[in-house]
């Protein structure tokens, strides 16, 4: 499959110009432009989408899609956005769609076969793949709850770019106090305490994998997978986060994507507007 994706670092102005140029050349009005958050998302969706779809990496953060699409192409059905849900609770625009779960990585990991394929290649421990997946997601619950609260209550905590191996310990449960202590070490002037602790404690651990998938950050998930895989192999540097991210994308199938809510929504949208978005 040939790729007609745009990988250059675009600004708001030349992103709009590039899209307008693509649309003006589409005399039959059958092509679709999909704005994504980053190159990894472009790589994931290129295989899952029809050849008539052009994928464009957003020029900024996920909020770029939220602002750019309605301001630049408010009435153009051939321009869509797909982004991580993160912790949004309400859809921002009818042409902005969300990955299942919290993000693209959780959508991939939610598929049993995808995770099993990756685990077979990288994990040398004793846990069965699906039990391993559950334990990894569960080990991240309190970190994920902190991320949720930080977003919901505008705490602006530094959580990304931290060393999760300091708190994630395969075979041992991470407590709330341990997770808070870990995050506070990176936020000495913006700590979780007092009223913040009460809000954090209100985030309930249901023990359900579907709930873990809804709040787990993609970078945290891949980092925790690496920690578990490396610990089982006895070599903490045996596999990198980028390698694992690539492995997840490569293991994910079109059949797996066809079972997602995102795919169903895109197919419904495409049918309503005479487009083809999802590859069969």
Report whether 69 contacts 20 (CB < 8 A).
Answer: no
Section 169-195 average pLDDT: 96
The phi and psi torsions of 154 (rounded to 5 degrees) equal 60, 45
User: What number of other Cβ atoms are within 10 A of residue 211's Cβ?
Assistant: 16
User: What is the reported pLDDT for 237?
Assistant: 60
- The rounded distance, in Å, linking the Cα atoms of 208 and 222 is 19
Q: How far apart are the first and last CA of the chain?
A: 13
Share of the chain above pLDDT 70, in %: 93
Q: Is the Cα torsion angle 207, 209, 211, 215 positive or negative in sign?
A: positive
User: What is the reported pLDDT for 3?
Assistant: 44
| Model confidence at 81: pLDDT above 70 | yes
Picking from 155, 150, 180, the residue whose alpha carbon sits closest to that of residue 87 is 150
Q: How confident is the model at residue 1 (pLDDT cuts 50, 70, 90)?
A: very low
Picking from 49, 46, 79, the residue whose alpha carbon sits closest to that of residue 65 is 79
Sheet holding 96-98, edge to edge: 53-57, 32-36, 79-83, 96-98
pLDDT digits (tens, 9 = 90+) for 252-270: 999 999 999 999 999 999 9
pLDDT digits (tens, 9 = 90+) for 193-236: 999 999 999 999 999 999 999 999 999 999 999 999 999 887 55
User: What is the reported pLDDT for 63?
Assistant: 56
Q: How confident is the model at residue 11 (pLDDT cuts 50, 70, 90)?
A: low
Mean pLDDT of the chain: 92
- The rounded distance, in Å, linking the Cα atoms of 256 and 48 is 10
Q: Which residue has the higher pLDDT, 125 or 14?
A: 125
User: What is the reported pLDDT for 5?
Assistant: 52
Residue for token pair 């140029």:
21
pLDDT digits (tens, 9 = 90+) for 105-163: 999 999 999 999 999 999 999 999 999 999 999 999 999 999 999 999 999 999 999 99
Lowest average pLDDT, out of 11-15, 35-39, 204-208, goes to 11-15
User: What is the reported pLDDT for 15?
Assistant: 83
∠ CA 273-51-261, nearest 5°, is: 55
| Model confidence at 4: pLDDT above 70 | no
Cα torsion 45, 50, 52, 58 to 10°: value is -10
**Maximum Cα interatomic distance, the chain, rounded to a whole number of Å:** 61
Report whether 104 contacts 84 (CB < 8 A).
Answer: yes
Report whether 129 contacts 123 (CB < 8 A).
Answer: yes
| Model confidence at 60: pLDDT above 80 | no
Q: How confident is the model at residue 2 (pLDDT cuts 50, 70, 90)?
A: very low
Q: Report in angstroms the alpha-carbon separations of 155 from 9, 92, 176, 195.
A: 30, 22, 17, 12
Q: Which residue has the higher pLDDT, 65 or 164?
A: 164
Beta strands in the chain (DSSP E): 32-36, 53-57, 79-83, 96-98
Helices (H), 25-91: 39-46, 62-72
């Amino acid at each position: 499959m040939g790729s007609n994706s745009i990988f250059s670092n675009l600004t708001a102005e030349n992103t709009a110009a590039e899209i307008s140029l693509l649309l003006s050349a589409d005399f039959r009005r059958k092509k679709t432009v999909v704005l994504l958050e980053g190159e990894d998302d472009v790589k994931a969706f290129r295989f899952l989408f029809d050849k008539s779809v052009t994928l464009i990496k957003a020029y900024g953060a996920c909020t770029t899609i939220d602002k750019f699409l309605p301001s630049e192409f408010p009435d153009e059905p051939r321009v869509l956005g797909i982004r991580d849900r993160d912790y949004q609770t309400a859809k921002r625009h009818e042409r902005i769609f969300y990955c299942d779960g919290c993000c693209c990585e959780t959508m991939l990991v939610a598929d049993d076969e995808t995770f099993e394929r990756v685990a077979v290649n990288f994990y040398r421990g004793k846990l069965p793949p699906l039990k391993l997946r559950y334990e990894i997601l569960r080990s991240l619950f309190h970190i994920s709850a902190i991320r949720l609260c930080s977003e919901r209550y505008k705490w602006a905590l530094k959580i990304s770019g931290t060393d999760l191996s300091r708190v994630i310990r395969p075979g041992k449960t991470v407590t709330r106090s341990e997770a808070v202590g870990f995050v506070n070490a990176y936020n000495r002037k913006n700590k979780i305490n007092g009223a913040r602790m009460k809000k954090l404690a209100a985030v309930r651990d249901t023990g359900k994998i579907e709930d873990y998938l809804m709040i787990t950050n993609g970078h945290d998930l891949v980092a925790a997978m690496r920690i578990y895989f490396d610990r089982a192999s006895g070599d903490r540097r045996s596999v990198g986060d980028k390698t694992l991210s690539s492995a997840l994308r490569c293991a994910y199938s079109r059949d797996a994507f066809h079972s997602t809510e995102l795919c169903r929504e895109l197919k419904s949208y495409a049918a309503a507007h005479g487009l083809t978005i999802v590859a069969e």
